[in-house]
């Protein structure tokens, strides 16, 4: 009943406001109809019988990985058409709204349907929105990105991130292996890509530490 009490309070407040501004009585049918429609809509779509409770905030927000951002800029460019949409999606992710981040990227691919970077970004955003599970929509986005540029390292790199977050590390390593084979050896963003992989795959990180321990000169 709390919901109806709040609704009734708003209705009474509206009535008081109409009296205060001396709204012409011959036109009162207009606000009365609005209140009736609002009440009907609340009864239909809302749950007025539920007890009130404090609003729940965002329980967890995934921090943006600076290595991922640096790798993305190296893979897909900076200060270009893609960049503005990635930044907007980042802002939504930063405040804990993966749904809005996915919406931003979906709008981006609608405007540039042949942009591989935006399709890869959409795939990752959709996977995060779906609780780090690769939904058919996310899989389609990754596939589309790879179809547009079969020899570009970005799409398999992003697919690997989604796979790792979903817990499928074996498939993630396969995707990342393909991405690294496609990256030019002198690419400035290669180290950032590897940094992202090591953060998401504890097995790779342990293997890297073991290799460095066995051969300290490799770290130089």
pLDDT at 59: 43
CA 21 from chain centre, in angstroms, equals: 46
- Say if residues 180 and 153 touch (Cβ distance below 8 Å): yes
Q: What CA–CA distance (Å, rounded) separates 140 from 50?
A: 40
Model pLDDT for residues 83-95, shown as the tens digit of each residue: 999 999 999 999 9
- Of 159, 132, 129, the C-alpha closest to 145 is 159
pLDDT at 69: 95
pLDDT at 206: 80
Concatenated DSSP letters for 152-199? -SHHHHHHHHHHHHHT-HHHHHHHHHHHHHHS-TT-TTHHHHHHHHHH
pLDDT at 199: 94
- Say if residues 172 and 163 touch (Cβ distance below 8 Å): yes
pLDDT at 10: 57
pLDDT at 205: 72
Q: Taking the alpha carbons of 81, 82, 84, 88 in that order, is the dihedral positive or negative?
A: positive
pLDDT at 50: 47
Percent of the chain with pLDDT over 90: 58
Q: How far is CA 148 from CA 63, 138, 178, 187, in A?
A: 30, 16, 16, 21
CA 180 from chain centre, in angstroms, equals: 25
pTM: 0.70
pLDDT at 58: 42
pLDDT at 203: 86
- Of 83, 70, 151, 92, the C-alpha closest to 117 is 83
Those residues of the chain that have pLDDT short of 70 are 1-60, 208, 210-220
- Say if residues 175 and 154 touch (Cβ distance below 8 Å): no
Residue 24, phi then psi, degrees to nearest 5: -55, 130
């Amino acid at each position: 009943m709390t919901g109806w009490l709040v609704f009734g309070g708003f209705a009474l407040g509206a009535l008081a406001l109409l009296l205060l501004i001396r709204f012409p009585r011959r036109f009162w049918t207009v606000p009365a109809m609005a209140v009736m429609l609002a009440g009907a809509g609340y009864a239909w779509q809302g749950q007025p019988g539920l007890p009130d409770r404090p609003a729940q905030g965002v329980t967890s927000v995934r921090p943006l990985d600076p290595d991922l951002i640096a790798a993305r800029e190296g893979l897909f460019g900076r200060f270009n058409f893609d960049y503005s949409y990635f930044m907007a999606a980042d802002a939504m992710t930063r405040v804990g709204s993966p749904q809005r981040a996915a919406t931003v990227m979906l709008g981006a691919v609608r405007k540039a349907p042949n942009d591989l970077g935006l399709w890869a970004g959409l795939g990752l955003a959709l996977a995060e929105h779906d609780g780090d599970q690769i939904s058919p929509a996310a899989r389609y986005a990754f596939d589309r990105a790879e179809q547009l540029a079969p020899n570009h390292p970005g799409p398999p790199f992003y697919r690997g991130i989604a796979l790792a977050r979903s817990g499928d590390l074996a498939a993630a390593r396969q995707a990342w292996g393909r991405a690294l084979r496609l990256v030019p050896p002198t690419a400035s963003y290669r180290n950032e890509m590897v940094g992202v992989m090591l953060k998401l795959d504890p097995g790779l990180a342990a293997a890297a530490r073991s290799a460095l321990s066995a051969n300290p000169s490799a770290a130089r």
